[in-house]
């Protein structure tokens, strides 16, 4: 089996509690979960094509864009990483129309157990993919709001009580203790009653989502692989977690190499 094309982050879904992964090559999709346990080889052909404008770029910026697009697209702006800094109301959004559809839509504030309990936000339509992308073992939505800015304001306030970061090495080695999300949710909500009121944030039910990953062996130490240093990467695919392929020779963050032209052989 061989497939070639410009790739993207892995497309994910949850089926019977297990994360499913598809690797895209232009128009084709490969069920890469099915290759766990098998030898694979990935080759980078030294071509990167901006996923927005389609021009060739020597280097990838903001995970898959050329330099001009990374500096002009709203989705590459800092406010996407830090939603509490949304500047739409100042009239300075890079692409107001895009912002209206992307940021002015229902957003969820959640807690998840990735390498410990963390708080995060996502568009309502992006669950459960958001949690799979982060390698969460479990996730619990806590509040729904109408805009990305509002979710960012809540997240920023909750950062005083809980982390917003994942220790990705621990996540990949599966050095993660089980966590009780429901009692933690109750504690966090108890810290911010006035903000919930001010933003008319809607409390969500206590439905914990548990996620298993297609992994037969976790790494005992994390070695990061990169197509920029090693254009041909081959090994046994021991599993997939987050946006990482866990190979016997190291881990590969597929998302980081969005827009790279790759060939996979298995
Ligand atoms: Zn571009």
- Residue 107 CA to ligand 1 center (angstroms) comes to 28
- Residue 101 CA to ligand 1 center (angstroms) comes to 21
Q: How high does pLDDT run on average in the chain? A: 97
pLDDT tens for 99-120 read 999 999 999 999 999 999 999 9
Tell the burial category of 143 from Cβ atoms under 10 Å away from its Cβ (0-12, 13-18, 19+). buried
| 87, pLDDT greater than 90 | yes
Please report the pLDDT score of residue 27 as a whole number.
84
> 3-state DSSP call for residue 171?
helix
Ramachandran assignment for 250, one of left (phi > 0), alpha (psi -120 to 50 degrees), beta (any other):
left
Across 1-38, the runs of DSSP E, i.e. the strands, are 2-6, 11-15, 18-25, 28-31
- Residue 64 CA to ligand 1 center (angstroms) comes to 9
pTM as predicted:
0.95
Contact between 209 and 14 (Cβ < 8 Å): yes
- Residue 180 CA to ligand 1 center (angstroms) comes to 43
Mean pLDDT of 46-67: 97
- Residue 4 CA to ligand 1 center (angstroms) comes to 21
- Residue 61 CA to ligand 1 center (angstroms) comes to 9
- Residue 155 CA to ligand 1 center (angstroms) comes to 31
Mean pLDDT of 183-208: 97
- Residue 73 CA to ligand 1 center (angstroms) comes to 9
pLDDT tens for 205-264 read 999 999 999 999 999 999 999 999 999 999 999 999 999 999 999 999 999 999 999 999
Q: How far is residue 131 from each of residues 71, 123, 124, 171, 183, measured CA to CA in Å?
A: 28, 12, 12, 12, 19
- Residue 231 CA to ligand 1 center (angstroms) comes to 23
- Residue 46 CA to ligand 1 center (angstroms) comes to 17
């Amino acid at each position: 089996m061989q497939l070639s094309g410009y790739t993207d982050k892995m497309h994910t879904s949850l089926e019977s509690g297990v994360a499913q992964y598809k690797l895209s090559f232009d128009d084709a999709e490969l069920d890469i979960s099915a290759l766990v346990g098998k030898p694979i080889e990935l080759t980078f052909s030294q071509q990167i094509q901006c996923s927005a404008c389609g021009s060739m770029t020597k280097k990838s910026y903001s995970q898959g864009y050329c330099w001009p697009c990374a500096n002009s697209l709203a989705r590459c702006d800092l406010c996407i990483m830090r939603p509490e800094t949304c500047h739409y109301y100042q009239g300075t959004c890079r692409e107001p129309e895009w912002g209206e559809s992307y940021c002015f839509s229902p957003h969820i504030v959640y807690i998840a157990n990735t390498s410990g309990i963390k708080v995060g936000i996502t568009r309502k339509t992006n669950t459960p993919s958001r949690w799979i992308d982060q390698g969460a073992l479990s996730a619990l939505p806590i509040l729904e709001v109408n805009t990305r800015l509002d979710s960012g304001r809540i997240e920023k306030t909750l950062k005083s009580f809980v982390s917003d970061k994942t220790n990705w090495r621990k996540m990949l080695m599966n050095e993660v203790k089980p966590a009780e999300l429901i009692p933690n949710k109750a504690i966090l909500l108890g810290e911010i009653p006035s903000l919930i009121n001010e933003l008319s944030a809607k409390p969500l039910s206590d439905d914990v989502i548990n996620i298993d990953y297609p992994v037969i062996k976790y790494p005992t130490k994390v070695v990061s692989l990169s197509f920029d240093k090693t254009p041909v990467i081959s090994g046994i695919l021991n599993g997939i977690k987050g946006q990482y392929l866990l190979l016997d020779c190291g881990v590969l963050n597929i998302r980081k190499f969005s827009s790279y032209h790759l060939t996979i052989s298995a």
